[in-house]
Amino acid sequence: MEFLQNKQDEIVEGLVHFFNARIEEKPHETLRQVESELKTLYIRFDNDWTGRGVVGDATLTATISGLEGVRAECLRRLETRNSADGDEQ
């Protein structure tokens, strides 16, 4: 079980690290990309007719979790930018 937890942590951290710069530069585009990928992953998660197994489920769940974190950060950045733009007007 420790292996699975370490693997999940690695996946989540890797996704957040991968998207960090892009979130800063292009949060709208990143948000669209991540939401599209999440839609696909949620469909795949619900359609496990071939049987992914424990490792496959853990990997898919970690990927969804990481992308949800990226999505939340995009929304936070967009909200912060909108608030800053509103303060300037």
pLDDT computed for residue 88 by the predictor: 56
pLDDT computed for residue 51 by the predictor: 83
- The closest of 13, 4, 67 to 35, measured between CA atoms, is 67
Q: Which is more confident, 54 or 88?
A: 54
Distance CA 72, CA 74 (A): 5
pLDDT computed for residue 31 by the predictor: 97
| pLDDT digit string, tens, across residues 1-22 | 798 999 999 999 999 999 999 9
